């Protein structure tokens, strides 16, 4: 029998082991990245951004009563969210629910940006 004759299976086992470690590390990195994205600080920044865009769009659409009510509702929701971000209950929310909340905030942000983009000109006069 040749010394090291079983070397092929040992190497494949080692490569499989390294592959599992690499896969585990990638999963861990992905989880950490998602957790950071769904952190209270990240939500607070997004909340402030949505609130600022809502204020701007309210000024641009000052004659639209329905939209003014909607902006007031958005501000109330952002205040509630900001309050929740400072409490321990936020940490207990599952990542899936936080991800859903973040997607909804991003959707609201995009809708507000569209509203700002489509705002009427403040004057009819050519500059």
For 21-68, how does the pLDDT look when each residue is reduced to its tens digit (9 = 90+)?
888 889 888 888 888 888 999 999 999 999 999 999 998 888 889 989
**Phi, psi angle pair for 31, to nearest 5°:** -65, -45
Give the tens place of pLDDT for each residue, 7-31: 557 778 888 888 888 888 898 888 8
Average pLDDT on 78-89 reads 91
* pLDDT the model gives residue 14: 84
Cβ neighbour number for residue 71 with a 10 Å cutoff:
22
Task: Tell me whether residue 50 is in a domain.
Answer: yes
pTM of the model: 0.70
The mean pLDDT of the chain is 86
What is the pLDDT, as a whole number, of residue 6?
Answer: 54
Q: What SS3 class is residue 38?
A: coil
Decide if 13 is inside a domain: no
* Side-chain half-sphere CA neighbours of 45 within 13 A: 6
Query: Containing domain of residue 73, as a range?
Result: 36-117
**Rounded distance between C-alpha atoms, residue 7 and residue 40, angstroms:** 51
Domain count, the chain: 1
Instruction: Give long-range contacts, CB 8 A cutoff, 24+ apart: 111-117.
Output: 112/50, 112/53, 112/54, 112/57, 112/74, 113/53, 115/57, 115/60, 115/61, 115/67, 116/53, 116/56, 116/57, 116/60
Residue 10, in any domain of the structure: no
The verdict on residue 81 lying in a domain is yes
Q: How confident is the model at residue 117 (pLDDT cuts 50, 70, 90)?
A: confident
Q: Does the pLDDT value for residue 3 go beyond 60?
A: no
């Amino acid at each position: 029998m040749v010394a090291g004759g079983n070397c092929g299976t040992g190497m494949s086992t080692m490569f499989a082991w390294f592959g599992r470690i690499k896969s585990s590390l990638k999963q861990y990195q992905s989880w950490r990245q998602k957790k950071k994205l769904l952190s209270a600080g990240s939500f607070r920044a997004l909340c402030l951004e949505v609130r600022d865009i809502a204020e701007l769009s309210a000024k641009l659409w000052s004659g639209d009563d329905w939209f003014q009510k909607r902006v007031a509702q958005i501000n109330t929701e952002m205040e509630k969210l900001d309050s929740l971000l400072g409490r321990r209950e936020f940490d207990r929310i599952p990542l899936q629910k936080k991800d859903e909340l973040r997607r909804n905030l991003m959707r609201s942000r995009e809708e507000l940006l569209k509203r700002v983009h489509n705002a009427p000109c403040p004057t009819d006069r050519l500059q």
